[in-house]
Amino acid sequence: MEKFAKVMLALLAQVAKLRKFAAVIIVGVVLMMIAIAIHFLAVRAVEKEWKEKLSTTQRSPEEIDGIVANMVKYRAITTPAFVPKSLWDKEFCSATVVNAVSFISGGESLKTSAAWKFYATNRERLGLVYDRSADFVVQEDKILETYDRPVWLSRLGLQSDRIYVVGYRYHETLAVPRIVEGLKSGGTINSHVMLLLGRYDGSWWGYHLFHDPDRPNDSPFKVDNLGDDIPKKFDIVYIWEVLGVRKGGTPKNLLMVQNSPPYKNVARWTGLFGNNSLGRAVDSISAYLFTSGDNFPTVVDLDKEVVEIVKPGEKASHGQVLGFFRGVSVYQHAGASQRGEYGLEFQCVELANRFLVEALGHRNLTRTGDADSYFYQARGKGLMPYYNDGVESPRSGDVVVFDPEGDDNNPGHVAIVASVSESQSQICIVQQNTRRWYECLPLKKRGAKWHVENPTGLPCVGWARRIQK
């Protein structure tokens, strides 16, 4: 009987092990199914955003010219990414350029491929205008430069109304077996590609994806001056014209904007399993679950008074562009301030001063006082003050000051008047260093006098207007 009991206990133990094993299998299968479902949702979300934002019609030369020119002009403020966030940590320079051409010109005109297959894949849509591949030789699994030929873009006869793609290689890139293998099937010797934006302010500019090993937390999407340090890092081998795309005429004031978190916040969730099928699948899941914001840019018209990138009240990162007013950028303040050209960066005073300089041509008022000084010491700043409850109504472009009247212990707050609507009884303002970068406040007319209310904050003491000389 005792022996029988031991046998039964042993059998029960085996059954228990099988049940645990089965439970593990079931849990694994369930988790895999969940991962597959999330991956499917992530891919669908990217595809949906792509279709919603990509123009299905060819843009006019004036639209293309404006978009490209503003990519250069606003490069320090916002540089768009044209590949999903799950790929930001990888070397997808060719996909970046292909998608950039699609967004800039409208429609999907080029096909994605490896950089050294870019020309072979898109031969029908590209015209070869420069080729110095004869300066290189293939030795076993390496490509070596035999003649270090300087390239002067201004001497190549490039036309200002065309869009070009540059095929280049980094000096230190010597062992390139994939490229050598690709040569056998019509590939080229370049390891990277760049979109040549054109010549602005006396310099040639290019847009590309470049991971700087010395600055790993910087965004890899760059608009670079090709007359500075870039030629020292790579050899230009080919230049191709994108056929059928023209820019010119009177440029439209269009800009590509993107509500995305800083690159370092996205990169922390990607690249954990390498650049392979599994790694890309995992990256798409983690980017979908743990990052916010846009995968692709939106084209906005900067001639609009107020351009919204991040909705007022939404969470944003320190230094992130929230929107524009009359072409002047508004930033999020959520950390320590550093002194910049117009004051402590991203504080309310910095925006007021920068707007006066950039939009109205006023002198720089940095280091001339706190926010309340834009009213109480307005005349010394070249501004005319008007008290709240006075007969002079606020106007768009005025600076409006909020402060406990006469309290010098409070630095107050300053904003810019974006619009005034007597019919809607409201005044709308743009501001920095507050929860809502764009908001509207009640505006009441009491007889001949105007009164601005601020129900949730400091009272409005008045507004100041630039004195025209």
The C-alpha angle 145, 151, 157, rounded to 5 degrees, equals 135
Q: Is residue 47 part of a domain?
A: no
Q: Are residues 109 and 239 in the same domain?
A: yes
Tell me the residue range of the domain where 355 lies: 307-466
Q: Are residues 314 and 285 in the same domain?
A: no
pLDDT of residue 407: 63
Q: Is residue 14 part of a domain?
A: no
Q: Are residues 293 and 323 in the same domain?
A: no
pLDDT band at 442; cut points 50, 70, 90: very high
pLDDT band at 21; cut points 50, 70, 90: low
3-state secondary structure of 224: strand
- Number of structural domains (the chain) is 2
What strands lie across the sheet with 460-466, from one edge to the other?
383-387, 460-466, 399-402, 413-421, 426-430, 438-446, 449-452
Alpha carbons 136 and 139: distance in angstroms, whole number: 10
User: pLDDT, tens digit, for every residue of 306-357?
Assistant: 999 999 988 888 889 999 999 999 999 988 889 999 999 999 999 999 999 9
pLDDT of residue 3: 61
Q: Is residue 25 part of a domain?
A: no
Q: Are 86 and 283 in contact (CB under 8 A)?
A: yes
* CA nearest to 133, candidates 77, 189, 193: 189
Q: Is residue 275 part of a domain?
A: yes
Q: Is residue 295 part of a domain?
A: yes
Q: Are 415 and 429 in contact (CB under 8 A)?
A: yes
Q: Are residues 117 and 207 in the same domain?
A: yes
Query: Across residues 417-421, what is the average pLDDT?
Result: 95
Q: Is residue 203 part of a domain?
A: yes
pLDDT of residue 18: 59
Q: Are residues 287 and 416 in the same domain?
A: no
Alpha carbons 307 and 324: distance in angstroms, whole number: 5
Q: Are residues 238 and 316 in the same domain?
A: no
Q: Are residues 87 and 232 in the same domain?
A: yes
Q: At what angle do helices 277-290 and 2-53 cross, to 10 degrees?
A: 80
Residue 250 token pair: 């009177």
Last residue of a domain, one of 300, 332, 347: 300
Last residue of a domain, one of 270, 300, 330: 300
User: pLDDT, tens digit, for every residue of 392-412?
Assistant: 999 999 999 999 876 667 899
Chain-wide mean pLDDT for the chain?
A: 89
- The dihedral built from the CA positions of residue 448, 454, 460 and 466, taken in this order, carries a sign that is negative
Last residue of a domain, one of 265, 300, 335: 300
Q: Are residues 282 and 382 in the same domain?
A: no
Q: Is residue 405 part of a domain?
A: yes
pTM (two decimals): 0.86
* Highest-confidence segment of 11-25, 163-177, 440-454: 440-454
CATH number at residue 409: 3.90.1720.10
Instruction: Please determine, for residue 201, whether its predicted confidence score (pLDDT) is greater than 60.
Output: yes
pLDDT band at 214; cut points 50, 70, 90: confident
Q: Are residues 120 and 230 in the same domain?
A: yes
Q: Are residues 315 and 286 in the same domain?
A: no
Q: Are residues 295 and 313 in the same domain?
A: no
User: pLDDT, tens digit, for every residue of 223-281?
Assistant: 999 987 777 778 899 999 999 999 999 999 999 999 988 898 898 888 887 778 888 88
Q: Are residues 295 and 312 in the same domain?
A: no
Q: Is residue 39 part of a domain?
A: no
